[in-house]
Structure 1
Amino acid sequence: MSELVVVDAGRYGTKTVTEGIRDWFPSVIGEYRELKLGRAWTHQDMIVEFDGDKYYVGEIAKTESNGAATLMLDSKVTIDTKLLILTALHRTLPNNTAAFVVTSVPISSQNELEKLHMKQLLLGSHSITVNDVSKSFHVTRVEVGIECAVAAWMLRKKRKGTYLVVDIGSRTVNFTTIVNGQWIDRLSGTLPFGTETENISMTLFVRMVMAELSRRIKPLPALVLMGGKAKDLLEYFQTYTHDVEVHHDPLHANADAMYQFWRGSYRMKPQKRSSKCETVNLGVSFNLLDPHQAALYQFAKKKFVNFSAAAKRWLEDDMKGFVSGQCPMPVPSSDFQVQEQTIPDSVDVDFEPRSAFF
């Protein structure tokens, strides 16, 4: 069984949660250079060697790298994300660990293509050296969740009725509306700015957030703030609404929620395959009676027929016939027709969070 580890590779900081461990380090990467003088090294200072390149990562990159930076691209599928996640694995897992990695993307970025590219980026065997200690990992499975949404939904047992979770990041602000335990897609999304994209005061930043939220959601429900700067921003939000509070652990809220979610379902037996589909290359079967899954099948059939060598090794060696982190290739019966489905007006309906959030 692979080790479950959640890595929330944010633009400001990288948060990691696995069994008995919660970790954080700054998501800053810069070029390596020899230091002329000594340094009082901390746990946040790292020299990282990967794929023949050498970097400073963390606090030391801020002060000692000439080109230290944090990427603010729309997509998280970058070499920086890979480097941050592998560094997180190095900091929290033993050498030669098989890892089931769960990570996340903003609400606005969550689509099947982005998720597939993230899985392709991380799956397989990797070796990385941090502060002269080399480790190897075999990422056997990857799941990509939706930032803010999972954490918001996991609060449903503590908060009843309607509430709005606002996840304040350095590049974006995600917001999720929950009504009676149900995610409301129409009232959830991503604001295209964050605490480090606007050169303005906290007062004006919060005003921008509240202006956008109040324009999109009427009436504005109770707010729950998440993100590393949530506590600092609370007083500014209170000038607009008294019905606002900070999540009990705003920094690790996303990572903790995804870990709790998957810890409960990871060891569940796979469901039986539908009689309407088969699989090839040991991919997980999709229920083709579900229009969303049927559409993904059609997309995958056209775009992702060939597996990489690493993916083939992964499929053959580790999962033994049940893999949800790889692109599926189900074959529908010849008489199969995709049926349209309507969503009931009431939110008091059965809700399957695994398919909704991952």
Structure 2
Amino acid sequence: MILGIDSGSSNVKVATAEGVFQFTSQLGEWRERNLKNQFSEDDMEYEYNGKKGFAGTLAVYESEFVRQMMGSTKAHEDAKIRTLLAIHRFGGLNNQIVVGQPIIQHNETEKQKIKDMLIGHHTLTLNGVTKTFAVDRVEVAAEGGAIYWGIKTTASLVRIIDIGSGTVNCATIADGRYIDKDSFSLEYGAESRKSRDLTLMIDSIIAHTSKTWSKEDVVFVAGGLGEEAEKQISSYYNEAKKINIPYVMDGDYHFAHPVFANALAFYNIARGLYDVQR
């Protein structure tokens, strides 16, 4: 099965042929419970490699040590667990996936670490259901930059601001070519600092990007704050707009919230890489 998986530190976003899905990323320690009500599929109790844990909303409500692993790389165990939970819920027995990595650490060493931790057979029990599945192929795309291949634009120069919970990825594509010198990650996000003043955070994003970007550039805004940030960013960049990527589900076209921009881009890339004609 083909999946695009954006294992963010706030929410895991998944795109498949059936549409787009998300669940909260929080993980926490397991413990025996007297009351075992399950309110939704986002209440997740899992066991992997002999280790039990709570995930999603169950971790939020029932774990004492809830964690949201953030940072400039997804080459860590928590990102692996988030991704495997997504495959258990939305994948099949054999899976070919594209996942993301922040621009700042999108190098061959970190990409290989991610591939090594995901490729192979995995047995995961989730809410009492045990599945053994294979991850046959993994490719690692640049968060933010990959979004370009999911949007339609006639502009020869495109800038993308992808606001995540842990990082902000700022990408530049010129004539369909990724421009590394004008692309970078800011090592903060919507949930990674003590201050919750998003207005100041967006001002900081504008200040950093304006060092090399022009006010007249075409700028697309993605991420969970895509809609909220669009107005403020467009007050500086005249051609700024949020990203709504189209996708097909049940034979009809839909437009996804900007939070799904990376996952849908990863899915579109996966279809091309893995020769899927559907």
TM-score by length of 2: 0.88
What displacement does 1:242 show?
4.0
The aligned residue for residue 132 of structure 1 is: 128
CA RMSD of aligned residues (A): 1.9
C-alpha distance in 1, partners of 2:270/2:89? 21
The aligned residue for residue 204 of structure 1 is: 200
C-alpha contact (below 8 Å) 1:21/1:92 kept by paired residues: no
The aligned residue for residue 108 of structure 1 is: 104
Matching residue's letter, 2:52: K
C-alpha distance in 1, partners of 2:95/2:270? 13
How many residues align structurally?
Answer: 263
C-alpha contact (below 8 Å) 1:213/1:220 kept by paired residues: no
- List 4+ stretches of structure 1 deviating above 6 A: none
C-alpha contact (below 8 Å) 1:4/1:99 kept by paired residues: yes
What displacement does 1:39 show?
3.9
Which of 175, 178, 197 is the matching residue for 1:183? 178
Q: Which aligned pairs between 1:267-278 and structure 2 lie closer than 5 A?
A: 267=275
Q: Aligned pair in 2 of structure 1 residues 138, 20: CA closer, same or farther (>3 Å)?
A: same
The aligned residue for residue 46 of structure 2 is: 48
C-alpha contact (below 8 Å) 1:214/1:220 kept by paired residues: no
Which of 51, 57, 60 is the matching residue for 1:59? 57
C-alpha distance in 1, partners of 2:205/2:214? 14
Q: Which aligned pairs between 1:1-358 and structure 2 lie closer than 5 A?
A: 3-37=1-35, 39=37, 41-94=39-92, 97-155=93-151, 157-200=152-195, 201-219=197-215, 221-248=217-244, 249=256, 250-267=258-275
Larger relative contact order, structure 1 or 2 (CA cutoff 8 Å, min sep 6): 2
C-alpha distance in 1, partners of 2:154/2:168? 21
The aligned residue for residue 339 of structure 1 is: none
What displacement does 1:219 show?
4.7
C-alpha contact (below 8 Å) 1:166/1:225 kept by paired residues: yes
Matching residue's letter, 1:192: E
For structure 2, the residue ranges without an aligned partner over 5 or more in a row are 245-255
Say which one has the larger Rg.
Answer: 1
Matching residue's letter, 2:138: V
Secondary structure at the counterpart of residue 179 of structure 2: strand
Higher strand share: 2
Secondary structure at the counterpart of residue 166 of structure 1: strand
What fraction of aligned residue pairs are identical, expressed as a percent?
Answer: 32
C-alpha distance in 2, partners of 1:21/1:90? 16
Secondary structure at the counterpart of residue 103 of structure 1: strand
TM-score by length of 1: 0.69
Matching residue's letter, 1:202: L
